[in-house]
């Protein structure tokens, strides 16, 4: 800690005896007593140090006390210093009034009463010390404020630079995804044309491998494009009336052959109170369902995959629909649940390494579900396999009364039963 500056007190009196008396009273205190024999000398001393209080004789030859006070109050450095007049019995009341009108704070009578003069000086010194502390704190606060302003400006510049970098990255990824997807669609189309021609068994096998790899690459490209659109905030819902059963039947139909090839059940159950026609984004709902069923299909080798649709809540024509995609696959370890919906996060398992992927699927699902006013999560109480639940908000459109729907991939799909 720095050494504290001494407390200066200016004693002004043309009478040496009065100065000695003042010095005797205050000598025991930790003050630096500065003495002046005239108003002119006092004015010169004011330029040298800062004073806590001035004790000034009102009657002095030359520049008297009142004139000295006026000159003291005209100077910036000394105008706030408290001044105590020392007076005797001969001092006229008009002089005291003139002194108080010019800024004199108090006065003491001669001869001095030690306790009185000491208490007055101590009081003004306390005020001076408090004022000095406040000034120091104010300066420190000002410095901190300036430092915070500087840090804020640096953070704003860093934020702007980061936003520019993010925009550049997002634009680059979106452009590259579009540029890659266009020729990729051509590759997939030509493979389909090739597979319709007469090929040897070995050639058909090669073509199927190429087709599978192209589908995987196309999925990766689509995931990256969706993710960049979400990051940039340009993804919006395209809402319109749609038939929920038709949408789900279309999704289930995409996986029927895969389920049969793996000898898996593929079952969908829609509760009777679910509206037949809804107003919402059918495309994004299909995207979430496809992603969840695709994951279930990857990690399920026996048993089945089950989709359940029910009404979780209703407010007039607004419905909260709950979807559950349950499988009998390998399941998910409890310590891996927290990373499920993080971008580019994959479960470290042989099955994950076998099937690959970007690790964006569930993160994209979560964003889409939130956009549709719902929540998504994993049913941690499910003991066998995995069960993902998600909700969406949608408005019903007047339609014939809904009936339950049941699909099973092991039998021909016969519509609604």
Domain boundary among 232, 260, 276: 232
Backbone angles phi, psi at 11, to 5 degrees: -105, 120
What is the count of structural domains for the chain?
A: 3
Residue where a domain stops, chosen among 180, 207, 232: 232
**Which range is least confidently modeled, 21-25, 184-188, 285-289, 396-400?**
396-400
Q: How far apart are CA 130 and CA 315, in angstroms?
A: 65
User: Does 416 fall in a domain?
Assistant: no
Q: Global pTM?
A: 0.53
Q: What is the pLDDT of residues 205-263, one digit of tens each?
A: 888 888 888 887 887 777 777 777 776 666 778 889 999 999 999 899 888 988 998 99
Residues with Cβ within 8 Å of residue 181, at least 6 apart in sequence: 218, 221, 222, 225
Asked whether 177 and 224 are in contact (CB, 8 A), the reply is: yes
Return the axis-axis angle of helices 282-298 and 244-261, rounded to nearest 10°. 20
Question: In this structure, are 272 and 397 located in the same domain?
Answer: yes
**Higher-confidence residue: 218 or 162?**
162
386 in the same domain as 266: yes
- Which stretch of DSSP H or E encloses residue 36? strand 31-36
Query: Are 281 and 397 found together in one domain?
Result: yes
Is residue 301 located within the same domain as residue 351?
A: yes
Measuring CA to CA, which residue among 328, 336, 341, 321 is closest to residue 297? 328
| Residues 65-76: tens digit of each pLDDT | 888 888 888 888
Domain membership of residue 79 as a residue range: 7-112
Identify whether 16 is part of a domain. yes
Residue 347's pLDDT band, with cuts at 50, 70 and 90, is: low
Cβ atoms of 321 and 394 within 8 Å: the answer is yes
Residue 201: CATH number of its domain? 1.10.287.130
Q: Kindly state whether residues 278 and 164 are assigned to the same domain.
A: no
Is residue 107 located within the same domain as residue 47? Answer: yes
Tell me which long-range contacts 221-226 makes (C-beta under 8 A, separation of at least 24).
221/177, 221/180, 221/181, 221/184, 222/177, 222/181, 223/358, 223/360, 223/361, 223/364, 224/173, 224/177, 224/358, 224/360, 225/173, 225/174, 225/177, 225/178, 225/181, 226/360, 226/364
Mean pLDDT for the stretch of residues 78-104: 71
Residue 285 has pLDDT above 90, yes or no: yes
């Amino acid at each position: 800690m720095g050494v504290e500056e001494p407390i200066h007190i200016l004693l002004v009196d043309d009478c040496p005896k009065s100065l000695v008396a003042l010095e005797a009273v205050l000598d025991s205190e930790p003050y630096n007593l500065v003495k002046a024999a005239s108003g002119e000398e006092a004015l010169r001393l004011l330029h040298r140090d800062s004073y806590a209080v001035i004790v000034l004789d009102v009657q002095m030859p030359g520049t008297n006390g009142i004139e000295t006070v006026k000159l003291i109050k005209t100077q910036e450095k000394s105008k706030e210093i408290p001044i105590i007049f020392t007076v005797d019995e001969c001092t006229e009341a008009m002089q005291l009034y003139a002194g108080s009108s010019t800024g004199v704070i108090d006065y003491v009578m001669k001869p001095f009463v030690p306790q009185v003069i000491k208490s007055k000086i101590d009081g003004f010194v306390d005020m001076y010390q408090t004022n000095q502390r406040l000034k120091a704190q104010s300066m420190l606060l000002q410095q901190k404020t300036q430092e915070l302003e500087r840090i804020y400006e640096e953070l704003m510049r860093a934020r702007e630079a980061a936003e520019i970098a993010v925009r550049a990255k997002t634009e680059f990824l979106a452009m590259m995804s579009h540029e890659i997807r266009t020729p990729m669609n051509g590759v997939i189309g030509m493979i389909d044309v090739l597979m319709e021609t007469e090929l040897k068994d070995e050639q058909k096998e090669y073509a199927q491998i190429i087709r599978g790899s192209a589908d995987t690459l196309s999925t990766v490209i689509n995931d990256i494009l969706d993710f960049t659109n979400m990051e940039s905030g340009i993804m919006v819902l395209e809402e319109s009336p749609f038939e929920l059963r038709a949408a789900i039947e279309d999704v289930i139909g995409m996986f029927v052959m895969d389920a049969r090839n793996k000898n898996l059940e593929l079952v969908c159950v829609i509760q009777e109170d679910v509206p037949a026609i809804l107003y919402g984004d059918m495309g994004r709902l299909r995207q979430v369902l496809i992603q969840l069923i695709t994951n279930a299909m990857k990690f399920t080798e026996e048993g089945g995959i089950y989709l359940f649709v029910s009404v979780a809540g209703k407010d007039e024509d607004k419905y909260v629909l709950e979807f559950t995609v349950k499988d009998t696959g390998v399941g998910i370890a409890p310590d891996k649940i927290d990373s499920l919906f993080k971008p580019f996060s994959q479960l470290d398992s042989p099955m994950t390494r076998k099937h690959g992927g970007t690790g964006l699927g569930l993160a994209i699902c979560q964003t889409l579900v939130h956009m549709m006013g719902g929540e998504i999560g994993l049913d941690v109480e499910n003991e066998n396999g995995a069960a993902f639940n998600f909700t969406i908000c949608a408005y019903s459109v007047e339609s014939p009364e809904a009936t339950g729907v049941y699909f099973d991939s092991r039998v021909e799909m016969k519509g609604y039963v």
